[in-house]
Amino acid sequence: MKRATFASNIGIILATAGSAVGLGNIWRFPYMLGSNGGAAFLLVYIVCILIMGLPVMLSEFYIGRRSHSNVKGAFTKLAPGTKWNLFGFIGVSCAVMILGFYSVVAGWTLEYIMQAFTGSLAGKSAAEFTSEFDLFSTSLVRPLIWTVVFILLTHFITASGVQKGIERASKVMMPMLFIILIALCVRSVTLEGARSGLDFLFHPDFSKVTSSSFLSAMGQAFFSLSIGMGTMITYSSYFTSKTNLQNTALQVTIIDTIVAVLAGIMIFPAAFTFGIRPEAGPQLVFITLPNVFERLPLGNVWSCVFFILLALAALTSTISMHEVATAYMEEEHKMSRKKGAWIVTGICIVLGILSSLSMGLLSGYTIGGLNFFNLLDFVTAKILLPAGGMLICIFIGRFVKRKDLLEEMTNQGTVRFYLFSTFYFLVRYVAPIAIALIFLNELGLLKKFIG
């Protein structure tokens, strides 16, 4: 049976960019930027994207298209008779675990869309937003319903196939995401305190940059691009032989970075206008920003639009995570796409329910001091993703022949790769060291080594 491919170049770009763009761009990036001095962090982040993000993404593109297989099958084909296919289990496990707890937060966006649409957010104080969010997120039924609904939305798009599901949905959702984001940015920059917010975002103060800022920027670059868990390997396995891997990686990285910067333009002018600290943190999305929007004319409309934006960003990412596991089930276990997708969905629903309940009913049950939601977050973000990224670099830098790598990156010599030697040096030496630093920092071990 002929393997599916994306039907068009624009479909490739939008689907792959959709995998990278997620809640991390719209919530985590502004929060990280706010915590690390603003514009100076943005510049450091862009440097980290260039020296680490792009090389690792290109490496995953090589593995995916060279093998035309799922994340486990890719290593079975490229390194037969070795243990490298174990990376496939890491990628699939990581994607499923992230999807399990990520869908809980994604489900919250649906709840807030409904509240904004019905006007339930209107006329509330900051304290009321806080108490009602705490009440909702720890309650038994509503978070579970929205979690399951979001996973099912993800399921039906993935189960529909590469072209009719993932590509078609990406062509609709990514333009919508940009239109909504730009509309919110326009509204934000017309606010009274917009100048201060834009100065914070674009006028660097390098005195605020520390070694911790560099590590944070590297971590954000790594996680923002969805590298290290097989999503880019899986998506690039659907690329055609004519796809320009270099241009695709560059375009996806630019789109991902633009979305993150636009999120800053959307958030910081509003935050400065209403006297909110730019490093407001985890409560920014579901407590602080709704409070901001409700102080504006047509506040319920802006709140609704904002949460639709968050839902779209989350959905483009959850589709790619679901596809990692679905492609694995379909190809490695020789089952139909729909059956494989339902098995993945069932597992994710169980993980999602446990993650949601761990904030309320099951909050007393912890492992290593972490509830189930935080445990999945810790294991994936701080262990599996960095480990996955490092293994990708080691595989490309140590086990792939330089000649084969150049051949694939240049489409058998039909396109030029002017900076190939630079790319090879970065992926062989610089990126693994950078990822190792992130890994040690995230586990809290770096201070022990250097202090």
Tell whether the model's pLDDT for residue 234 goes beyond 90: yes
Q: What's the mean pLDDT in 357-386?
A: 88
> Among all chains, which residue has been given the structure tokens 């047509």?
298
- Rounded to whole angstroms, the Cα distance separating 226 from 249 reads 12
The pLDDT assigned to 55 comes to: 92
The pLDDT assigned to 387 comes to 84
Q: Is residue 1 part of a domain?
A: no
pLDDT at position 278: 63
Where are any strands of DSSP class E within 47-184?
Answer: none
Q: How confident is the model at residue 114 (pLDDT cuts 50, 70, 90)?
A: very high
Expressed in angstroms, the distance from the first to the final Cα of the chain is 57
3 part of a folded domain:
no
Cα–Cα distances (Å) from 136 to 142, 184, 337, 360, in that order, read 7, 26, 35, 10
Four-point Cα dihedral 198, 201, 205, 208, nearest 10: 130
pLDDT at 444 > cutoff 90: no
Q: Report the share of the chain in percent with pLDDT over 70.
A: 96
Among the listed residues 105, 160, 42, the one whose alpha carbon sits nearest the alpha carbon of residue 376:
105
**Residue 126 clears pLDDT 80, i.e. is over it:** no
pLDDT(329) > 80 = yes
Model confidence band, residue 363 (pLDDT cutoffs 50, 70, 90): confident
Count of structural domains within the chain: 1
Per-residue pLDDT band for 10 (boundaries 50, 70, 90) equals very high
What pLDDT score was predicted for residue 433? 87
Tell me if 83 is assigned to some domain: yes
- Domain range for 379: 9-450
Between 132 and 211, name the one with better pLDDT. Answer: 132
Q: Long-range contacts of range 394-398, CB-CB < 8 Å, 24 or more positions apart?
A: 394/432, 395/59, 395/63, 395/75, 395/79, 395/84, 395/87, 396/59, 396/62, 396/63, 396/427, 396/428, 397/424, 397/427, 397/428, 397/429, 397/432, 398/428
Quick one: how far is CA 130 from the chain centroid?
Answer: 26
Rounded-to-integer distance, Cα 97 and Cα 351, Å:
7
Residues 6+ apart with CB under 8 A from 243: 9, 12, 65, 411
The structure tokens listed for 157 are: 């798009």
Residues 96 and 268 sit within 8 Å (Cβ to Cβ): no
**Residue 224 maps to a domain:** yes
Mean pLDDT of 119-127: 79
Reference 322, options 167, 68, 173, 151; nearest CA is: 151
Give the CA distances from residue 12 to residues 55, 232, 260, in Å, rounded to whole numbers and listed in that order: 19, 11, 20
pLDDT at 282 over 60: no
Q: What is the mean pLDDT of the chain?
A: 88
Q: What is the mean pLDDT of residues 183-194?
A: 86
Listing DSSP states for 197-223 in one string gives HHHHHHS--GGG--HHHHHHHHHHHHH
2 lies in some domain: no
Determine the number of helices (DSSP H) and then strands (DSSP E) in the chain: 23, 0
Whether 173 contacts 16, CB under 8 Å = no
pLDDT band at 287 (very low <50, low <70, confident <90, very high): confident
Segment 327-345 mean pLDDT? 95
Q: How far apart are CA 451 and CA 212, in angstroms?
A: 13
| pLDDT of amino acid 279 | 63
Q: Within a domain: residue 355?
A: yes
Q: DSSP state, 282?
A: G
Q: Is the pLDDT of residue 407 over 90?
A: yes
CATH of the domain at 287: 1.10.4160
| Mean pLDDT, range 274-303, rounded to an integer | 73
- So what's the pLDDT on residue 281? 57
The pLDDT value recorded for residue 231 is 92
Give tens-digit pLDDT for 253-277: 999 999 988 988 888 888 788 777 6
Percent of the chain with pLDDT over 90: 47
Q: Is residue 319 part of a domain?
A: yes
Where do the DSSP E strands lie in 19-170? none
pLDDT greater than 60 at residue 451: no
Q: How confident is the model at residue 436 (pLDDT cuts 50, 70, 90)?
A: confident
For 23-32, 172-181, 397-406, which range has the lowest pLDDT when averaged over its residues? 23-32
Mean pLDDT of 313-332: 94
Res. 449 pLDDT band, cuts 50 70 90: low
Per-residue model confidence (pLDDT) at position 218? 76
User: What is residue 71's predicted lDDT score, i.e. its pLDDT?
Assistant: 94
Is residue 94 within 8 A of residue 380, CB to CB? The reply is: yes
Q: What pLDDT, on the 0 to 100 scale, is given for residue 61?
A: 96
Q: Indicate if the pLDDT at residue 73 is higher than 70.
A: yes
Write out the two tokens for 59: 């490496």
Within-domain flag for 213:
yes
> What's the whole-number mean pLDDT along residues 45-66?
92
Choose among 340, 249, 310: nearest CA to 54. Answer: 249
429-440: buried (b, 16+ CB within 10 Å) or exposed (e) per residue? eebbebbebbbb
User: Sign (positive/negative) of CA torsion 65, 67, 68, 70?
Assistant: negative
- Residue 17: name the closest of 307, 264, 257, 267 by CA: 257
